[in-house]
Chains A and B, each alone.
Chain A
Amino acid sequence: MQKEPSCKKAISIRYTCAPNGDQVGLSHYLMADAKKAK
């Protein structure tokens, strides 16, 4: 059976972090500007 071509496009989004440029928080407390450490 011939399928109709889709007008929708596949979506894939993935970013990676620079070292020490991201943030860590606590589920019992969310601090806006805290940093992770690697």
Chain B
Amino acid sequence: MATKTPNLEGPSLAMVNAGAGPHFDVLEVGHPDYVALINADTAFWVLSPREEALDYLLGGELPEVFREKEARLASDLHNVRFGLLPSAVYFNPTERCNLDCGYCYLPREARRTGRDMEPAKVLEGLSVLSEFFKKKLPEGARPQLVFHGSEPLLAKDAVFQGIAQYGDYFRFGVQTNAVLLDKNARDFLVAHGAGIGISLDGPTAEIADRSRHTWGGRGVFAGTVKVLEELHDYPGLNVITTVTKENVRHLPELVEFFHERGTANVLLNPVRGTQSGGRSLMPDQEELAHFFFRALDRSYELYEQTGRKLVVGNFANLLLGLVAPGARRLMCDISPCGGGRCFFAVGAAGEVAPCSEFLGLPEFHGGNLFETPVAELLATPAFKRVTTRVVEQLDPCKQCAVRHFCGAPCPAEVYAINGRLEAPAPNCDFYASQARYAFRVIAQGRLDAFLWDGWKDGLEEILVM
């Protein structure tokens, strides 16, 4: 790169890091040839050859070309942070669960003996929600409604009646532990095009059943794998693994396990510490980073060997955050998070919270779906506390170069752990490491291998450099 020395007596915006000039941080990403230069406010970055990084920073070209596109970059990021409408709901038709997973974000007593919503009440709830979305969303938009839990198939009649009656409007999904997902249930959901999410935490019964078992302690690994194999080519299938200290060392094997069975999408979600059970199972961050990245490495090797991808959705989402912030699909690693603004959660008594993670924290409930208009619920102070939490107000996030690739998640676990929302992510080190790993993936030219096919569809490139 040819260095163009700026005029030191000229306007400050022609130089970085002083006056009106753009601010660029330098980030070590662990690549032998590249470092990242990041304008954190717009989530804009350049991977610079190491030996040229100072030339980029001290020369005049970078601030000049950045200034030309800055407004568009800022607008793109602003839109995904503040410009989206609510378009998805978690709906819990029962508080009860037939499993006793140690890390659940719902309180244990409620899961054991809690309330069910009657089928008529579920239909009333769907009616209220559909009226809200029809007023709020553009014509033709179809919001997501995911029956979640606890275990939604314990209220199967209500769930299926809802899907049958509102299947033309909502895009339905059911997140289930698969224990009650018999052939009839599978056939019904597939026939109605409903998404099916199942949970599996390990590649063997010995590992998976440590965290997911019945109240009597019996594991459910075999049944879950049977469903996974039967549905592997169903496009609406997704799999969630909750990463805990019990399974973190086995993530690379787990990736092999899923790939072998034809799974195309998986979330490897680090457990949230929102409830005490989850907190006690949070893995050490360094260990989490090590095995999570080895699992990603393994998914790349398998793609190279077979031509078939296993997309790790939560990492793919972070990559999208780097290359197309507005195209990210998940709303946890951005601030404000999606809770209460892109989606919200309805509990079995009709209580409405910004996200399922907040259902067990009553101080964040906005009110009741059957008593207060949804628009008012979303504007309550309880919701505003979550929807106005931004990294610019947090220490040390406000000075972090990757603050818009992380988002300081999750506010529910941050609150549960710290007693306040104004604190960084409990897994702060892990998220910073993950951003470095993502930059290495890009520097290695492997971006497409980690993203969903067709990820560029509908996107427009902003050429800055």
Contacts and interface: CB of A to CB of B under 8 A. Distances in A.
Interface of A: 3-4, 6, 8-18, 20-38
Nearest 9 pairs between A and B by C-beta?
A21-B458, A17-B326, A15-B459, A15-B324, A25-B329, A12-B465, A8-B49, A11-B47, A37-B85
Contacts of A34: 87-88, 144, 171, 329
Nearest to A11: B47
A34 to B, nearest CB: 5
Contacts of B51: 3-4, 6
Interface in B202-261: 235-236, 238, 240
A11 B327 contact: no
Contacts of B45: 12
Query: Chain A interface secondary structure, helix, strand, loop or mixed?
Result: loop
Interface of B: 1, 33-34, 44-49, 51-52, 56, 72-73, 76, 79-80, 83-88, 90, 136-138, 141-144, 146, 148, 171, 173, 175, 195, 197, 235-236, 238, 240, 265, 267, 269, 313-314, 317, 322-324, 326-327, 329-332, 338, 342-343, 356, 442-443, 447, 456-462, 464-465
Contact of B342 (A9, A13, A24): A24
A17 B457 CA distance: 9
B443 A31 contact: no
Contacts of A28: 90, 146, 148, 175, 240, 269, 356
B144 A10 contact: no
A26 B265 CA distance: 14
Query: Chain B interface secondary structure, helix, strand, loop or mixed?
Result: mixed
A20 B84 CA distance: 10
A15 B323 contact: yes
B142 A35 contact: yes
Given A12-B464, A27-B314, A38 B85 contact: yes
Contact of A8 (B34, B79, B240, B462): B34
A12 to B, nearest CB: 4
Nearest to A4: B51
A27 B141 contact: no
Given A20-B138, A26-B88, A38-B85, A14 B461 contact: yes
A38 B460 contact: no
A16 B173 CA distance: 28
Given A15-B459, A17-B459, A30 B141 contact: no
6 contacts: A11-B46, A12-B47, A15-B456, A24-B343, A31-B195, A37-B137
A17 B314 contact: no
A29 B220 CA distance: 20
A8 B79 CA distance: 34
B1, B142, B326 — which one has the most chain A CB atoms within 10 A of its CB? B326
Given A11-B443, A26-B338, A38-B79, 11 more contacts: A10-B46, A12-B46, A13-B442, A13-B461, A17-B458, A22-B459, A25-B331, A26-B88, A28-B148, A28-B240, A32-B265
